Amino acid sequence: MPQFKSEMTIPYKNSEKGKKGQIIDMFNNIAGKYDFLNHALSLNIDKIWRNKAIKALKLLNPKTILDIATGTGDFAILSAKKLQPEHVTGIDISEKMLECGIEKIQKLNLQSTITLEVGDSEAMKFDDNSFDAITVGFGVRNFENLEQGLSEMVRVLKPNGIAAILEFSMPEHFPIKQLYTFYFKHILPFIGKIFSKDYDAYYYLFNSVQEFPYGQKFAEIAKSAGFQDVTIQKLTFGIASLYICKKS
């Protein structure tokens, strides 16, 4: 299996907790400002990316969907609206992110279609072959053990099921690469600190994106975790990538 030490990229260098504990702290810290900052800092492009992922699942017509690392539930809400499934389950390790998501779902009156609950994607409580489709938006980069999280996805997907995984990647060409690095390294942590008071969280975003295996490397890891087929779609000059991972 290709080795990627996801547990090495952590937000708080002085914390004694492991990566998972730090990720819980970080998202609990920024939960209240997450939606605002997420859409503002990505200039709302994140919404276009989630829509692309949902489109890729349309043909499958999934009835049961699992949104992993659901956070404040944006992907789960979009699935419920656009794919008309019987049920969407969202799991996350940050209770505060989930609280924000549950509030949004109640306002939209979608609580009979979407359930959000605390759950670790690296050790899920669901039976084998439970879901038609999985969505993951900007979650896999934060896993303590990427391979374990991907193997768990394969386990809980039904045969022929699909996982649509969105994640940041590094653009490779001038001048987008240079602009993107400058924005991520210098501007984003600064704005993030002003609004969320957590500079480390937004500096971690830059580090974790830089170190994350994107493109073909990610596809190889997903295949060795058990996916039969992985297609890669670069989004917006390669700032993000959509991985469509199929279980046999």
How far from 242 is each of 163, 182, 185, CA to CA, in Å?
Answer: 10, 23, 23
Distance, in Å, from the CA atom of 33 to the CA atom of 3, rounded to the nearest integer, reads 34
Beta-ladder partners of 87 = 64
Q: Which residues ranging from 3 to 22 are in contact with ligand SAM (CB under 6 A)? A: none
Q: Which amino acid is at 122?
A: E
| 97 is a contact residue toward ligand SAM (CB under 6 A) | yes
Distance, in Å, from the CA atom of 73 to the CA atom of 79, rounded to the nearest integer, reads 10
Among positions 25, 120, 132, 147, the unique one binding ligand SAM when judged by CB under 6 A: 120
| 74 is a contact residue toward ligand SAM (CB under 6 A) | yes
Q: Which amino acid is at 12?
A: Y
Candidate segments 4-12, 119-127, 196-204, 228-236, binder of ligand SAM by CB under 6 A: 119-127
- Maximal CA-CA distance, the chain: 48
Among positions 93, 100, 153, 163, the unique one binding ligand SAM when judged by CB under 6 A: 93
Angle value at C-alpha 154, between 145 and 100, nearest 5 degrees: 65
Distance, in Å, from the CA atom of 164 to the CA atom of 79, rounded to the nearest integer, reads 11
Residue closer to ligand SAM (CB basis): 142 or 241: 142
Long-range contact pairs involving 173-177 (C-beta distance under 8 Å, separation at least 24): 173/237, 173/238, 176/237, 176/238, 176/239
Residue closer to ligand SAM (CB basis): 27 or 184: 27
| 69 is a contact residue toward ligand SAM (CB under 6 A) | yes
| 121 is a contact residue toward ligand SAM (CB under 6 A) | yes
Backbone angles phi, psi at 68, to 5 degrees: -85, 140
Smallest distance from ligand SAM to CB 3, Å: 19
CA nearest 48: which of 153, 133, 137? 137
Residue closer to ligand SAM (CB basis): 75 or 218: 75
| 92 is a contact residue toward ligand SAM (CB under 6 A) | yes
| 89 is a contact residue toward ligand SAM (CB under 6 A) | no
Residue closer to ligand SAM (CB basis): 143 or 243: 143
| 143 is a contact residue toward ligand SAM (CB under 6 A) | yes
Radius of gyration of the chain (CA): 17
Smallest distance from ligand SAM to CB 156, Å: 13
Residue closer to ligand SAM (CB basis): 127 or 159: 127
What residues make contact with ligand SAM under the rule CB under 6 A?
A: 23, 27, 38, 69-71, 74-75, 91-94, 97, 120-122, 137-139, 142-143
